[in-house]
Structure 1
Amino acid sequence: MKFLWVIALIIFVIYIIISDRKSKNRKDYKEAPTPSKNPSNEPLVKRWWVWGLILVLIYGFFVSTSNKAENHDETYKTTAPHSIKPSPVKKRKKLSDYASKKVSKFIPVKNTAKAVTLGAGKYKVGRDIKPGRYVIKAVKGSGNLSNSDFTINVILGNDANGDRLTSFTTNLVKNDKIKIDWIESTSFTPTPDKYTYKTKISAGIWLVGLDIKPGRYVIRPIKGRGNLISEDGSDDNLNEILGKNAEKGQVSKVTADLTAGEVILSTIELIGLSKK
């Protein structure tokens, strides 16, 4: 609308200029007529109604601009939300949350796990797999094993090669969601009911005070490479890559104080713990 007012004003001004020039040209080539009081012979720029029309056009231009601004403000007030809140982000479970619930559940009671063999696919604990503590192995083929919160996220195969593991030991509780990719056949074998302290630990999730005796240890990779992570509710947690390639950020050993209740996650085929 503002654009149309501007165009109208420009056209009108051009019309006045052209008309005045034509009038002047006629005076140059013709004898001046007898003076007349008729206002129609006066130049357009000297007529009151011309300036009145120009003022109307200018007024209309500014009124149109003002109304547009008011409409914009009103529209903004109507459509703008009072507040914008981000969608809630589901917090990923901590390792300590995972194991404190899952490991402690099996300390005073018998392991309720039941052996089962599954192919590739998605499964739910409590429906397809009984809750309990398992040693999970790839019987045929190799591929990924993971759960819904990615506390479990490893590559299983028939032999340990690079990041591939032959087994992973962990607790599975009701409503856990397990995903098996590209593995033809995977076995879930219950662990023994009796817990004993170990100084050699395969890949899996372990609890200090149940699987490992509390104390100060030097931890080394015996076979394979991978992550060694611990959580004990403090800031003094382990987070190392154990292996033999220092150029890739791997370390050959780590010394740590392991306390009762501390959760250990290892994605290394086999590690050794030596008392210090």
Structure 2
Amino acid sequence: MSAPTTTTAATTAIVTGSSSGIGLDIARGFLAQGANVVLNGRDPERLAKAAALLGQPDRVAEVPGGTGTAATGEALVRAAVERFGRVDVLVNNAGTFAAKPFTDVTEEELDGFLTGNLKGTYLTTQAVVRQLRRQGDGGSVVNIGTVLVEHAIGGFPASAPLVTKGGVHALTVSLSAELAAEGIRVNLVAPGIIRTPLHAGSDVDAFGGLALLDRVGEVSEITDAVLYLAGAAFTTGHVLRVDGGYVTGRS
């Protein structure tokens, strides 16, 4: 992978699910490149703490709320335009993930994954694309999927989150074709096993042997991939695996 393309001071990025973990680090990465960032998370208090941790209030806006409703996407766009004048990049990071055997998944749980992963990405992207069309000079959408869509683990049953993340992969390919003529690029980062708060309390390093590089990934490595795709002007419809070679083979 080549070095990430540096954003300009005028760039404004919306990052959903950015109260902690991967989303928070993605926001940090954009700020380090001089961009403005709109943070999002369901818990207003956690979101405020994340903004304080980033420490650049003049370039950070906060919009609490779940992305599973159209109103949150519209609020994110409104905050970006009112605070910073425009939107340039959307990172659809918000989502949910948990393992559970297929026949034990309840209808309520399935609805939660559909809303948190697929519907949230779909509705937020709609709101941002409408604004990008108003601006008329293109833009970039980077979705977050998972390599488990391509290569599942028998001992880690996760059909509900995977079928919804699979929908995000399909949406990426479809929108990349539909929006290309308008200069709107749509790509996806597919993480492998990453050291995040999701694995708190567990020995995440025990999974390192699943990858050719014999380790788990770090959140900063997902950030690097997102920043690259956000600025890669001749790349669209691409699924970028950041998995240490997990899908490719075994060490």
Does the TM-score normalized on the shorter chain lie above 0.5? Answer: no
Name which one, 1 or 2, has greater alpha-carbon Rg. Answer: 1
Higher helix share: 2
Higher strand share: 1
Scaled to the shorter chain, the TM-score interval is under 0.3
Higher relative contact order (CA 8 A, sep 6+): 2
Question: TM-score, normalised to structure 1's length?
Answer: 0.23
